[in-house]
Amino acid sequence: MDNPGVRRRPVQKRSIDRVERILDACARLLDEVGLDALTIVDVARRAEVPSGTIYQFFDGKPGMLRELALRNLELLLVRLRRRVAQEVAEGTEGALTWPRAAELVLTETVEMRRTVPGYTVVDFADTRPGGPTFLPQGEAKEGGDVLAERLYHFALDEAGLPPLPDPYRVMRLAIQATAAALQLAFTTSREGDPAMIEQGRRLLRAYFADVSSPG
């Protein structure tokens, strides 16, 4: 996926490893100091590279954060593929449904917030009022964004779910509702408030049961 904040894509293994080390350092520092206090100098020091190395690959902090968000998105999709395959293999829920798929996305997102460095801060967007998204713009004319588009096409093309009416607005609303629920759940605890997470699960299940029902 295109990241306009990338100045140069690494090709050699040594450079690829260096970029991964930069992103790992960025993620760990986000957990420690937060988004506003994060600096290129600190990331470079933690990654044990000169600051100029970061600027060789990224246009600065925005490009680096966007690349981290894209990496997190790919990790989420990998985890969802594994969960969907497990659901199909076990067959405990019967055919996969939109409400169940929404639960799986919530479950994996919660687990990533708990275990993936930097994910609580950079889960694809700065969720403060007026905060920027860290993902590229979407392409759907109906108003989709990259996260909504990727999740929707994953659901259709890989999970075998049926199409939804007005899908990108549905997905964007579900994503925003999930973000709001998890922001409340993780305000005071790294592990998240289980009761608030459960409320988010109920909200998503009811919403997708409604929008995916015939008629």
Are 104 and 17 in contact by the 8 Å Cβ rule? The answer is no
Q: Which residues pair with 133 in a beta bridge?
A: 125
pLDDT at 35: 86
- What pLDDT does 34 receive? 87
Taking the chain (215 residues) in runs of 10, the rounded mean pLDDT of each run is 72 89 95 91 95 92 89 93 88 79 94 89 55 64 75 94 94 90 86 94 97 84
Distance (Å, whole) CA 70 – CA 136: 9
pLDDT of residue 198: 97
pTM: 0.86
In this predicted structure, what is the pLDDT of residue 133? 66
pLDDT at site 131: 56
Alpha-carbon span 167 to 183, nearest angstrom: 24
Return all residues near 173 (Cβ < 8 A) that are at least 6 apart.
Answer: 207
Q: Considering only CA atoms, which of 169, 214, 178, 215 is closest in space to residue 199?
A: 178
Q: Which of 92, 96, 91 is nearest to 154 (CA)?
A: 96
The confidence score (pLDDT) of residue 125 equals 55
